[in-house]
């Protein structure tokens, strides 16, 4: 069954018929392959991205070129920062890429901003979403500043297992390092340590979670709410 825009926007029924027609006319549905960059920094205002299926990753680059993941977007999640031009005085050099084949609605920034200025429901939704994303970033900053890397790594493996619905993760050490904003060598050393403890098993390009409960305990304080 093909996805319909009205099923994905929580404020749809609170829009006028004219506003609904405007959005329907402007929205484009896109399907991209894994690795595709959907949004590339603050100068690239592609519009809002509303995920239908698949998964997107929002991350930033340090001056040294090191990546760190801010958050992921899955089914029905919306990315506002890909339309940062609608937020006066706010600029984010956030990159959004597809982690797997992803289908999404692309809502042009200008049309959305116009409706947001007219509709209290859209404005409230946007403000709530913005607050949630800022909370994600603040949470991540707290993790980097105050939590040990082994706890963050354990939490990442637990969350990745939840996303993939599997205890066997097809992911490289380099990719994990990109998510956590650290060096691959450091991640490899910690993974080997987890392996020696019997928490995980390691093979080429794959990590098997052997003791999920113990891994969750190891991740204490670094798991996002809901995991």
Can you give the pTM of this predicted structure? Answer: 0.84
Could you tell me the pLDDT band of residue 227, with boundaries at 50, 70 and 90? Answer: very low
What was the pLDDT predicted at 66?
87
The DSSP result for 118-148, as a single string, is: H-HHHHHHHHHHHHHHHHHHHHHHHHHHHS-
Give the mean model confidence (pLDDT) for residues 206-226: 89
Per-residue pLDDT tens for 78-117? 988 787 777 665 666 889 999 999 999 999 988 898 999 9
Instruction: Give the CATH fold of the 147-218 domain.
Output: Arc Repressor Mutant, subunit A (1.10.10)
Q: Where are the domains of the chain?
A: 5-143, 147-218
Distance CA 157, CA 66 (A): 20
Per-residue pLDDT tens for 125-148? 999 998 888 898 899 989 988 899
Q: What is the CATH number of domain 5-143?
A: 2.60.120.10
């Amino acid at each position: 069954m093909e996805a319909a825009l009205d099923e994905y926007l929580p404020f749809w029924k609170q829009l006028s018929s004219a506003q609904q027609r405007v959005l329907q006319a402007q929205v484009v549905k896109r399907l991209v392959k894994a690795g595709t960059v959907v949004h590339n920094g603050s100068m690239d205002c592609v519009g809002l991205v509303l995920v239908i299926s698949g998964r997107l990753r929002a991350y930033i680059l340090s001056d040294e070129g090191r990546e760190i993941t801010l958050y992921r977007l899955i089914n029905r999640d919306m990315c506002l920062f890909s339309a940062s031009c609608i937020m006066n005085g706010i600029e984010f050099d956030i990159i959004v890429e597809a982690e797997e084949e992803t289908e999404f609605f692309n809502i042009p920034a200008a049309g959305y901003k116009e409706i947001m200025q007219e509709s209290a429901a859209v404005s409230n939704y946007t403000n709530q979403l913005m607050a949630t994303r800022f909370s994600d970033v603040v949470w991540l900053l707290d993790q980097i500043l105050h939590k040990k890397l082994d706890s963050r790594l354990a939490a990442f493996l637990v969350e990745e297992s939840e996303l993939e619905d599997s205890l066997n993760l097809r992911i490289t050490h380099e990719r994990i390092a990109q998510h956590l904003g650290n060096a691959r060598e450091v991640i490899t050393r910690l993974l080997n340590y987890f392996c020696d403890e019997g928490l995980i098993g390691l093979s080429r390009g794959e990590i098997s979670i052997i003791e999920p409960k113990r891994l969750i305990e190891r991740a204490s304080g670094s798991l996002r709410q809901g995991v």
